[in-house]
Chains A and B, each alone.
Chain A
């Protein structure tokens, strides 16, 4: 990528003001296989009436277990597009995205996505408890487990007291934490440290224990933001 850069580091920077993130966690059922997201000559082009608009293309990389990856670049360069392609929400126009050697065509089960528009991704009709529980309920997890795990997740992001509130009654930061709790929940469980969470500056969420592959991230504050931290 010419203008964006993919930076790697072994540890999580607690001060990052992350906006989008792909969180890959491990399914508690699967034993020990590493979750290795990989991109193989991935390119994406928007076909618009104003002409084709490619994002910087031919991206190839592999992310290993325990690696933490940030994706940095100026706005409009295609960071979110790349994340949408990596997560299976959009097909690449060239190349291939793989997770554990499997080609990604739809959002895979082991992947959790916290979108940039976190507040718009919450359902206004449901309390935050129901919002967080939704993916589990859809996955046919039994009701008692859903309630327990939801409570743990919301407690982990510091929203235990607000379970009965609606998303639109919360601040933007709190809404983001709801989205994070929802993203982390199906992948693992908070109590035993299999989950990777995204942190946000004002109200850090602590991942517990040694997690599996940490998330590649898109940072919308660019390299200048790096210098600040």
Chain B
């Protein structure tokens, strides 16, 4: 029974995507355009490249920069956000700087990053962090600021202490917003990863796609773009699953109140 439900759910989620792919496949099948090769050709190339010959040379370098950058963004962004959310004066002082940092297009910083940190992996990680940290930091800050005053009173009147207040009261209450921040950070991080690789790298997916385009291997280029899209989708899917597990209480409660 559960299997049937699961199949129905997955089908409900994917039927449109499948329809789009089918339309693309059929409409492009007779294409002789150099720029828009048939999907069947792209797919054939996709399998050659990504299952799994080029994975160590192009996919792995990308993920090797992306994953630690996101982890680092969480490790710095969450504590900083909690701190800012707890100390109103501090938050008022630094808030203009935060807004500026958040609004500044991170691409504008890439030349500075290259000048300071060179073109190694360390620079690419730092560059992704510089862009991905903001939504996490701001999510944690806003989440902590929005914690119900009744919960704060409770923590104080029972003398829970700083550690218990942070880990048992503030962080869980702010968790939904922190997770929303991480979700945005994943998207931003992916963009910065690709751009960084396009401009300064000799490996990675961004490098591969640009290189393919510049050597007129447009089928390769499309295959690379397809993989990047799928990667983003899979990362999101993975993260949603994690979110559903960690915030189970949150979703259960919300479902109850909605129903």
B158–A135 touching, CB < 8 Å: yes
B156 touches A89 (CB 8 A): yes
Enumerate A142-195 residues with CB–CB distance to B below 8 Å: 166, 168-169, 182, 186
Cα–Cα distance between A88 and B256 once the two chains are bound (Å):
36
Interfacial chain B residues near A117, Cβ < 8 Å? 148, 150
A113 within 8 A of B: yes
B158–A138 touching, CB < 8 Å: yes
Set of chain B residues within 8 Å of A125, measured between Cβ atoms? 172, 249-250
A62: interface (CB < 8 Å): no
A134:B157 contact, CB within 8 angstroms? no
Interface-facing stretch out of A34-42, A94-102, A104-112: A104-112
Main secondary structure on B side of the interface with A: helix
Partner of A115, one of B153, B249, B253, B256: B153
The segment from B160-168, B184-192, B232-240 that touches chain A is B160-168
Q: Are A107 and B249 in contact (CB under 8 A)?
A: no
B257 at the interface (CB under 8 A from A): yes
Q: Tell me whether A166 and B253 are in contact in the complex, defined as CB-CB below 8 angstroms, given that A123-B151, A123-B168 are known contacts.
A: yes
Is A8 among interface residues, defined by CB-CB distance under 8 A?
no
Q: Is A31 an interface residue (CB 8 A)?
A: no
Q: Determine how close the nearest CB of chain B comes to the CB of A126; give it in whole angstroms.
A: 8
Contacting residues, chain B, for A111 (C-beta < 8 A):
157
The CA-CA distance from A106 to B148 in the complex, in Å, is 19
Chain B contacts for A120, CB-based, 8 A: 148, 150-151
Given the interface pairs A134-B168, A168-B257, the reply to whether A121 lies near B160 with Cβ below 8 Å is no
Q: Which residues of A contact B252 (CB under 8 A)?
A: 166, 168
Residue interface bits B61-102, CB-to-A below 8 A is 1, else 0: 000000000000000000000000000000000000000000
Question: Is B169's CB within 8 Å of the partner chain A?
Answer: yes
Contact A139 B253 (CB under 8 A): no
Q: Does B146 count as interface, using CB distance less than 8 angstroms?
A: no
Q: Which of A106, A124, A138 contacts B164 (CB 8 A)?
A: A138
Q: Does A16 make an interface contact (CB < 8 A)?
A: no
Q: Which single member of A88, A112, A121, A124 contacts B253 (CB below 8 Å)? A: A124
Residues of chain B within 8 A of A112, CB atoms compared: 157
Tell me if B117 is interfacial: C-beta within 8 Å of chain A: no
A to B contact number (C-beta, < 8 Å): 67
Q: Report the Cα distance A137→B163, complex, angstroms.
A: 12
A26 near B: Cβ within 8 Å? no
A135 to B161, CA, bound (A): 10
Q: A134-B168, A168-B253 are in contact. Are A139 and B150 (CB under 8 A)?
A: no
CA distance A137 to B153 in the complex (A): 18
List residues of chain A with CB within 8 A of the CB of B249: 124-125, 166
Complex contact B256–A169 (CB within 8 A):
yes
- Alpha-carbon separation in the docked complex, A88 to B156 (Å): 9
Distance A115 CA – B148 CA, assembled complex (angstroms):
13
Distance in Å: Cβ of B112 to nearest Cβ of chain A: 42
Residue of B nearest to A185 (CB): B158
A66 to B156, CA, bound (A): 26
| Most A C-beta atoms less than 10 A away, residue of B159, B250, B256 | B159
Q: Give B237-259 as 1s and 0s: 1 = Cβ < 8 Å from A's Cβ atoms.
A: 00000000000011011001100
A121 touches B172 (CB 8 A): no
Most chain A CB inside 10 Å of its own CB: which residue of B150, B250, B252: B150
Determine whether the beta carbon of A123 is less than 8 Å from that of B156: no
User: Known contacts being A123-B168, A125-B172, A138-B164, is A113 close to B157, with CB within 8 Å?
Assistant: yes
In the complex where A125-B172, A138-B161 touch, is A106 in contact with B156 (Cβ < 8 A)?
A: yes
Residue in B148, B158, B169, B172 whose beta carbon sits within 8 Å of that of A186 in the complex: B158
Contact across chains for A87 and B168 when beta carbons are under 8 A apart = no
Please indicate the chain B residues that have their CB under 8 angstroms from the CB of A106 in the complex: 156, 159
Q: A124-B250, A139-B159, A168-B253 are in contact. Are A113 and B153 (CB under 8 A)?
A: yes
Q: In the complex, what's the smallest C-beta–C-beta distance from A155 to chain B, in angstroms?
A: 21
Residues of B within 8 A of A186 (CB): 158
What's the nearest-Cβ distance from chain A to residue B174, in Å?
Answer: 12
**Pair B151/A87 contact, Cβ less than 8 Å:** no
Cα separation A107 to B168 with both chains bound (whole Å)? 19
Can you list 18 A-B pairs, Cβ within 8 angstroms, ordered by A?
A: A87-B157, A107-B158, A113-B153, A115-B153, A115-B154, A120-B150, A121-B153, A123-B169, A124-B249, A124-B250, A125-B249, A134-B158, A134-B160, A135-B160, A139-B159, A168-B256, A169-B256, A182-B158
User: Told that A121-B151, A135-B160 touch, could you supply 10 new A-B pairs with CB distance under 8 A?
Assistant: A106-B159, A115-B153, A117-B148, A123-B169, A124-B250, A135-B158, A168-B252, A168-B256, A169-B256, A186-B158
